[in-house]
Amino acid sequence: QVQLVESGGGLVQAGGSLRLSCAASGRTLGTSAMGWFRQAPGKEREFVAAIRWSGGATYYADSVKGRFTLSRDYAKKTVYLQMNSLKPVDTAVYYCAVGSPQRIGISASYGDWGQGTQVTVSS
């Protein structure tokens, strides 16, 4: 099992930036994927971005490509989601998760989840 702690959420104006962090502890991450999902009120949880822990390949939802960047600190077992040019539609609770790199954009592939961090973008 992996324990995940997210941080970095907050309130920002449209066009601004935030950086989310997700620190993992517990078992080794090996060939797992670490992903970010988000859920806005009244909507289903959706994929945002993911990274293969082994190799570091990254994947993004079309809605955030070019604005969000995912990176990792291998030694600290931490991933960072840099979010630039934020829009009000990015407002959601953002969750970090660890799971299988198969079907990397599907929430069902992830078994360990953080508690979530709120991101609010004002217009």
pLDDT band of 15, cuts 50, 70, 90: very high
Proportion of the chain above pLDDT 90, given as a percent: 88
Find the mean pLDDT for residues 55-72: 96
- The 3-state secondary structure of the chain reads CEEEEEECCEEEECCCCEEEEEEEEECCCCCCEEEEEEECCCCCCEEEEEEECCCCCEEECCCCCCCEEEEEECCCCEEEEEECCCCHHHCEEEEEEEECCCCCCCHHHEEEECCCEEEEEEC
Question: How do residues 73-117 score in pLDDT, each as one tens digit?
Answer: 989 999 999 999 999 999 999 999 999 888 899 999 999 999 999
pLDDT for 28? 82
CB atoms within 10 A of CB 24: 23
pLDDT for 55? 87
